[in-house]
Structure 1
Amino acid sequence: MTLRVERDEADGVAVVTLDREHRHNAIDLATAAGLAALWREFRHDDAVRAVVLTGAGGAAFCTGIDRDASVPQPGSPYSVDDPLAAIGPKAADLWKPVVAAVNGMACGGAFYLLGEAEFIVASDTATFFDPHTSYGMVSAYEAVYMAQRMPFGEAARMSLMGTAERLSARRAYEIGLVSELAAPAELPEAALRAARTLAGFPTQAVQGTVRALWSAKQAALQQALAQAPALIALGNLPPDRQAALFAARRAVPEPRLR
């Protein structure tokens, strides 16, 4: 299993753990399908009133799509078959609150998940970065999600600077991407504390508030995401050149932490 799900019916909280620690919790096709199915399942499970989403181990929350999870693409710049398109809770029409608990690295496709969480709690050792441009790829969906959650200049810098820089947990907290910092050992309880509070409130009021919050930005979000397939198809290097850049990644200097 690539996902671990723990339900506490007394508290009304489900903890979902990306359980591929050996791959830095990168998302393969089975994990992507599992996430999409799980969010749909939670829609109909009245015992689940709030969710904590995290990654196994301390090295990474999620490092995006697994490089081995290749999907044949249409031969048109106007279409992209994105294997991560349905991994977020909002893509499954789930309006129960999701608290992301970020431990270690969060990068690339991790922003599909963070972009659809209500708020983020992070360990003070967490880092955030987007490697796309370094590997000849367009950051489209990821950049759109982060531009919704960060000041524009910060989102632009992270999306464009690739692997050269990483955003520290402290800086992420200062700019509002992260709502709470915790020591690594205290991260699970910090996220659970918030989720238990949300699960303890009248569920219809909570879900209605979640829906209202997202309606405030959903129109702009959908318009921006609609541009992503063509931008990716037009701007990405061919897969073999991407792979060569990825294989050479260990030769580049250590990223700057800011």
Structure 2
Amino acid sequence: MTEGALRTRVDAETGVAVLTLDRPERHNAIDLATAAQLTGAWRAFRFDDSVRAVVVTGAGDRAFCTGIDRSVQVPQPRSPYTVDDPLAAIGPKANDCWKPVIAAVNGMACGGAFYLLGEAEFLVAAEDATFFDPHTAYGMVSAYESMYMAQRMPHGEAARMALMGTAERISARRAYETGLVSELTSPGGALDAAVRAAGTIAAFPTEAVQGTVRSLWSARQSALAASLAQAPHLVTLGNLPPERQAELFGGRRGGEFRVR
């Protein structure tokens, strides 16, 4: 099924759904319509008993997702205690979907992509995938993204990625070594590997699988919820004005970076 910038394919035999961000010309960046479609997809999966596991990926080989589309403009309330975040509900757990989710990462995964990666059970990545967080380079606080990644990576690795901004990208090999990625594949092989893993999980009794997913998340959810509650005022107080962010974005586009 295709809906705008999102494609959904369900294998009736295995019970595995593949959810594909389909904006390769924009590096699968998420605009408001795509964000709404993601929310709708996760909420639909909750009620679809034919879906027992989900793989989320991006179209093409250049990017899994590069976060929010820079053309998106979201009016913000004049308060340091709240932020209207268009990506807040693009992940499965934000939509109370406790079916197992595996992310298949190809190419770049950065910034707002971490909302999806942070709510997946585990990541499979092609050897040519890279991970980075551009926020600081553009005068923006990496709050939500860093909080998600701090749950998945050693503190020093999460801090380095957030603070180095666009100057450095983490290779898939380094991401595997630090535990962010659970399996490496040859270029182009991440989706097939993720679908195979999802098929194995989907074959197990549904109640036991979803209960295990919920148990694992219970162990980390309190800390994450407490952290996310602090994010709005950190963003509001630390972000540069939008026009200054745009200047930095335009000036740094296509600059040099180091792959680690």
TM-score interval (norm. to shorter): over 0.9
Whole-Å separation in 1 of the counterparts to 2:254 and 2:91 = 33
Displacement after TM superposition at 1:188 (Å): 1.7
* 1:225-244: CA deviation from partner (whole Å, max 9, x where unpaired): 00000000000000000000
Q: TM-score, normalised by structure 1?
A: 0.99
Candidates 181, 184, 187, aligned match of 1:181: 184
CA contact (8 A) 2:153 2:179 kept: yes
Aligned to 1:208: 211
**Unmatched tracts of structure 1, length 5 or more:** none
Whole-Å separation in 1 of the counterparts to 2:81 and 2:60 = 38
RMSD: 0.7
Identity of matched residues, %: 73
Q: TM-score, normalised by structure 2?
A: 0.98
Whole-Å separation in 1 of the counterparts to 2:74 and 2:118 = 23
Candidates 72, 94, 100, aligned match of 1:97: 100
1:159 maps onto 2:162 in alignment: yes
CA contact (8 A) 2:55 2:104 kept: yes
1:136 maps onto 2:168 in alignment: no
Whole-Å separation in 2 of the counterparts to 1:226 and 1:174 = 30
Aligned to 2:85: 82
Whole-Å separation in 2 of the counterparts to 1:192 and 1:251 = 33
Aligned length: 257
Aligned to 1:248: 251
Candidates 229, 236, 239, aligned match of 1:236: 239
Displacement after TM superposition at 1:184 (Å): 1.9
Runs of 4+ in 1 over 6 A off after TM superposition: none
SS of the aligned residue for 2:19 comes to: strand
Displacement after TM superposition at 1:104 (Å): 0.2
**Unmatched tracts of structure 2, length 5 or more:** none
Candidates 26, 51, 65, aligned match of 2:29: 26
Candidates 112, 115, 138, aligned match of 1:112: 115
Displacement after TM superposition at 1:251 (Å): 6.2
SS of the aligned residue for 1:170 comes to: helix
One-letter amino acid matched to 2:200 = T
Whole-Å separation in 1 of the counterparts to 2:192 and 2:244 = 43
